């Protein structure tokens, strides 16, 4: 239980009632009596009784009333209150996503952990008489501490060139006295004039528009669409600088913040200090300090993942959403919100401008820009006269290597040339592990996850078969468990581990780095390896999508896409858009330094619209085609969409409830309910899944309809779960 700082319960019922939202899956606020004389305000975090236990909650509203029959608020928790803007954002998320209000509120609730006590930092300074035994080391300490300044023990030891034991000895003799130091600042103060970049004319035009948007202090959305390497970051830094000049705060949302050490370095080069980082890798103690410092206005710039959206900024003057098209912005558990969209909602509430940056914007954002809802700035060229990589397809129907090999002769030839020139190659394959499927050559048995409708992926590194959906792990047997044949199991298809083997066969002397998010060593190892690559300490890089995003590798001149068709097979209407974005990003890693780059795409479908768009560089034509398809089908952003997933351990029960929902759909004019059908992954973690899709006209009240529908369908037993996903990422 968190500590209760202001005890508000004085035993007498007051004349006010507090409506309090508690962080559980309940859709309303609960009323409590406010004890007489208690200083409570809306947004305060409080402790209240809930059934047999106590819980924290947030005061959503205060009103007059006796509340004689109500339980009383027990105490106030000493954390920054949840401001009105955040409470309105939470209300909006709960309304929009249909998540229970209590679950949505939990997104913004930060309560102190066990280790919340701020550790007092102790310093030392010269105090009393020198001790009797004056060794040379002790003399050096006394000399170093001359002048009466306060030093930390470590600093003083270093200045004097002695061990900590010497310092402690002098504290014991009373020569040095311990004094409390003020807490270290939680983040540096970014200086907008530290080192402004000399912008190109294109960049300067875009920056001027963004500065003006920030200076207006009103809500607006601007899309900065710039090819890879055009300097979008430098441009939105100018918007951040403007917010800083006005003394206001800025939030930069990034999809994979934990891997963006390079970004932090660039920010520090521009502003003299790194921004405050906010993501799940930050310790809870530091997060608590940051939370307070953001509320007090001490922290000016936060660069963070999705959840940074819920920080209590006191004066938010700018929100940047970098790589706005990224799927990682969609929260796939709890309240299913899209952080880009909710960033726009928050900025509207806070009357702040939003900058969306991407080389490959989402279709939604492009359409919003085309319709004039967003400003649209375009950076058509790379910075510094650099050119975009040349793109070429390798038609695998004609050029495929022998069976069990994945690198075609033209790609190998290009890798040899690149290596001979002392430059780096990157092989991109969006498949973790060794092989995506293992089968028995004798009986055809395939290894499937017992909990999911998915094949087990072989990870040779871990000597295991792994499910990428639920984490199920089993040992890879020597013999087929089905027919018993010895040594008959075969790996089918490539993963990055297998590709690495093939690369080493062809290039035994090359320095090869394979990057995959599941390798041991975690974020720290990835950061180190990314740095090594940037420093030129690798010849060939093999990686999954985590190498595709945002990195700057100056010596990288060749990108080989090993299987450009991987993402197209899914049957999902968004598959084309996603493949286009991913391949544009990854090929955009080539030629960012002094030497021009090229990209080779191994594909069996060189005439697919995605490949044609990539090869011709005609993104506009690709988007136009995608938009036409979506418009004709009434899909987002031309229509609205929600998915309803019904899941249960028993397949029949899941299907029966999905059918019951369909029968009670009563869809009005402008709304269609499609299905139920088996969800794309029909079984995950032991739960069978059926899906209904709700397609609605843009101006229909989708949320109102969904609420009423679910309310009138008889509530199923607990083992049947109904999840509503508004704006699903796949459909
Ligand atoms: P994008 O995000 O559009 O891919 P970046 O902002 O990463 O582009 O810029 C690409 C590279 O060009 C980076 O190394 C960046 O430092 C450099 N760059 C871009 N604009 C400038 C500028 N005005 N002055 C100096 N370097 C720049
Ligand atoms: Zn599984």
For residue 270, how far is its CA from the centre of ligand 1 (angstroms)? Answer: 12
589 lines ligand 1 (CB under 6 A): no
Closest protein CA for atom 11 of ligand 1: 229
Query: Which residue, by CA, sits nearest to atom 10 of ligand 1?
Result: 229
Rounded CA gap, 2 and 407, in Å? 58
Tokens in use for 294? 């953001």
**Would you state the pLDDT for residue 9?**
47
For the chain, the residue count is: 731
480 is in an annotated binding site: yes
Q: Which residue has tokens 């508000």?
A: 8
Counting atoms of ligand 1 from 1, which one is nearest the CA of 552?
Answer: 14
Task: Write down the pLDDT at residue 522.
Answer: 77
Is residue 376 a contact partner of residue 210, using CB atoms and an 8 Å limit?
Answer: no
Q: Coil, strand, or helix at residue 18?
A: strand
pLDDT, one tens digit per residue, over 391-425 is 999 999 999 999 999 999 999 999 999 999 999 99
Confidence (pTM): 0.89
126, two tokens: 């010269």
Q: Is 230 in the pocket of ligand 1 (CB under 6 A)?
A: yes
Any atom of ligand 1 within 6 Å of the Cβ of 465: no
Q: Could you tell me if 560 and 293 are in contact, meaning their C-beta atoms sit under 8 angstroms apart? A: no
Residue 449 known to bind ligand? yes
Cα→Cα distances 234→188, 195, 224, 360, 594, Å:
20, 11, 12, 18, 19
**What would the pLDDT profile of 98-114 be if each residue is shown by its tens digit?**
999 999 999 999 877 65
Predicted pLDDT of residue 1: 34
Check if 408 has its Cβ closer than 6 Å to any atom of ligand 1.
no
Distance CA 238, CA 648 (A): 51
Residue 570 is given by DSSP the state G
pLDDT for the residue 10: 47
* Ligand nearest to the Cα of 469, by number: 2
55, 48 Cβ separation under 8 angstroms: yes
Q: Which residue positions in the chain have pLDDT lower than 50?
A: 1-6, 9-10, 115-118
The secondary element (H helix, E strand) that includes residue 446 is: none
For ligand 1, say whether the CB of 224 is within 6 Å of any of its atoms. no
- Going by alpha carbons, the residue nearest to atom 18 of ligand 1 is 231
Residue 334 · residue 284 · CB < 8 Å: no
DSSP for 124-191? Answer: EEE-SPPPSS--HHHHHHHHHTTTS--EEHHHHHHHHT--HHHHHHHHHTTSEEEEEEPPPPSS----
Write down the ipTM of this complex: 0.98
Distance from the CA of 456 to the center of ligand 2, in angstroms?
8
The full 3-state SS of 632-651, as one line of letters, equals: HHCCCCCEEEEEEEEEECCH
Instruction: Report the pLDDT value the prediction gives residue 120, as an integer from 0 to 100.
Output: 57
Q: Is there a binding annotation on residue 483?
A: yes
pLDDT for 117 equals 46
**Which residues, including other chains, have CB under 8 Å from residue 472's CB and lie 6 or more apart?**
449, 450, 451, 452, 456, 466
Ligand 1 midpoint to CA 203 (Å): 10
Residue nearest to atom 15 of ligand 1 (CA): 231
Contacts 24+ apart (CB under 8 A), 658-662: 658/690, 658/691, 658/692, 660/713, 660/714, 660/716, 661/692, 661/709, 661/710, 661/713, 661/722, 662/692
260 ligand 1 Cβ < 6 A = no
492 marked ligand binding residue: no
For residue 230, report the distance from its CA to the centre of ligand 1, in Å: 6
Determine the residue of 195, 229, 263 to mutate for testing ligand 1's pocket, defined as the one with the most ligand atoms within 8 A of the Cβ atom: 229
Q: Which residue's CA is minimally distant from atom 9 of ligand 1? A: 231
Task: Return the best residue to mutate from 239, 261, 266, 383 for the ligand 1 pocket (most ligand atoms within 8 A of CB).
Answer: 383
Query: Is position 452 annotated in a ligand binding site?
Result: yes
Q: Which residues surround ligand 2, an ion (CB under 5 A)?
A: 449, 451-452, 467, 469-470, 472
Distance 283 CA to ligand 2 centre (A): 30
Q: Tell whether ligand 1 has an atom less than 6 A from the beta carbon of residue 229.
A: yes
Q: What is the DSSP string of 303-356?
A: EE-GGGGGS--SSEEEEEEETTT-GGGB--SSS--BHHHHHHHHHHHHT-EEEE
Q: What sign does the CA torsion over 209, 210, 213, 215 have?
A: negative
Task: Determine whether the shortest distance from the Cβ of 552 to ligand 1 is under 6 A.
Answer: yes
pLDDT given at position 186? 86
């Amino acid at each position: 239980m968190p500590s209760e700082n202001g005890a508000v319960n004085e035993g007498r019922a007051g004349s006010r009632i507090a409506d309090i939202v508690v962080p559980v899956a309940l859709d309303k606020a609960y009323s409590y009596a406010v004890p007489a004389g208690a200083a409570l305000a809306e947004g305060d975090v409080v402790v209240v009784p809930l059934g047999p236990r106590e819980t924290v909650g947030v005061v959503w509203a205060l009103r007059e009333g006796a509340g004689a029959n109500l339980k009383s608020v027990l105490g106030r928790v000493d954390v920054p209150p949840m401001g009105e803007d955040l409470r309105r954002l939470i209300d909006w998320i709960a309304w929009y996503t249909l998540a229970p209000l209590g679950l949505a509120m939990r997104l913004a609730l930060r309560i102190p952990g066990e280790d919340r006590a701020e550790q007092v930092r102790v310093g030392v300074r010269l105090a009393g008489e020198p001790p009797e035994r004056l060794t040379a080391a002790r003399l050096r300490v006394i000399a170093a501490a001359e002048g009466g300044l306060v030093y930390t023990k470590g600093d003083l030891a270093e200045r004097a060139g002695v061990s900590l034991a010497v310092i402690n000895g002098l504290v014991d003799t009373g020569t040095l006295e311990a004094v409390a130091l003020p807490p270290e600042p939680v983040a540096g103060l970014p200086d907008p004039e530290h080192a402004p970049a000399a912008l190109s004319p294109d960049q300067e035009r875009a920056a001027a528009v963004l500065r003006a948007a920030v200076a207006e202090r009103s809500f607006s959305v601007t899309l900065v669409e710039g090819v890879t390497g055009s300097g979008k970051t430098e441009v939105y830094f100018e918007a951040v600088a403007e917010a800083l000049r006005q003394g206001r705060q800025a939030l930069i949302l990034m999809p994979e913040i934990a891997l963006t050490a390079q970004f932090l370095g660039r920010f520090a080069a521009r502003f003299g200090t790194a921004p405050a980082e906010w993501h799940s890798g930050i310790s809870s103690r530091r997060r608590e300090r940051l939370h307070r410092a953001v509320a007090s206005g001490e922290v000016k710039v936060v660069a963070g993942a999705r959840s940074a959206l819920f920080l209590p900024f006191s004066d938010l003057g700018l929100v940047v959403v970098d790589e706005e098209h990224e799927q990682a912005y969609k929260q796939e558990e709890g309240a299913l919100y899209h952080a880009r969209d909710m960033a726009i909602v928050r900025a509207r509430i806070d009357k702040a401008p939003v900058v969306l940056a991407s080389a490959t914007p989402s279709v939604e954002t492009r359409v919003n820009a085309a319709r004039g809802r967003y400003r649209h700035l375009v950076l058509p060229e790379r910075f510094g006269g650099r050119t975009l990589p040349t793109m070429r397809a390798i038609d695998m129907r004609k050029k495929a290597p022998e069976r069990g090999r994945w690198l075609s002769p033209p790609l190998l030839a290009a890798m040899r040339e690149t290596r001979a020139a002392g430059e780096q190659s990157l092989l991109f394959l969006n498949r973790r592990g060794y092989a995506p499927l293992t089968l028995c050559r004798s009986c055809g048995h395939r290894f499937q996850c017992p909990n999911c409708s998915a094949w087990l992926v072989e990870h040779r590194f871990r000597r295991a078969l792994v499910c990428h959906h639920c984490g199920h792990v089993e040992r890879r047997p020597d013999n087929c468990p089905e027919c018993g044949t010895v040594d008959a199991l075969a790996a089918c298809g490539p993963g990055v581990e297998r590709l690495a083997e093939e690369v080493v066969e062809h290039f035994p002397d090359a320095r090869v780095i394979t990057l995959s998010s599941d390798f041991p060593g975690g974020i720290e190892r990835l950061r180190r390896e990314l740095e090594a690559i940037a420093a030129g300490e690798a010849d060939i890089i093999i990686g999954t999508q985590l190498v595709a995003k945002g990195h700057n590798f100056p010596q990288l001149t060749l990108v080989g896409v090993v299987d450009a068709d991987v993402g197209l097979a899914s049957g999902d209407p968004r598959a084309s858009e996603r493949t286009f974005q991913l391949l544009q990003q990854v090929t955009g890693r080539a030629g960012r330094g002094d030497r021009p780059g090229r990209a080779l795409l191994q594909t069996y479908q060189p005439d697919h619209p995605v490949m044609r768009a990539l090869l011709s560089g005609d993104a506009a034509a690709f988007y136009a085609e995608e938009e036409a398809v979506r418009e004709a089908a009434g899909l987002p952003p031309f229509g609205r969409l929600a998915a309803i997933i019904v899941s249960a351990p028993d397949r029949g029960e899941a299907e029966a409830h999905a059918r019951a929902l369909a029968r009670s759909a009563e869809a009005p004019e402008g709304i269609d309910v499609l299905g139920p059908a088996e969800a794309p992954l029909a079984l995950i973690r032991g739960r069978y899944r059926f899906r209904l899709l709700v397609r609605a006209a843009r101006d229909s009240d989708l949320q109102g309809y969904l609420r009423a529908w679910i309310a009138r369908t008889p509530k199923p037993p607990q083992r049947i779960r109904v999840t509503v996903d508004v704006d699903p990422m796949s459909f």
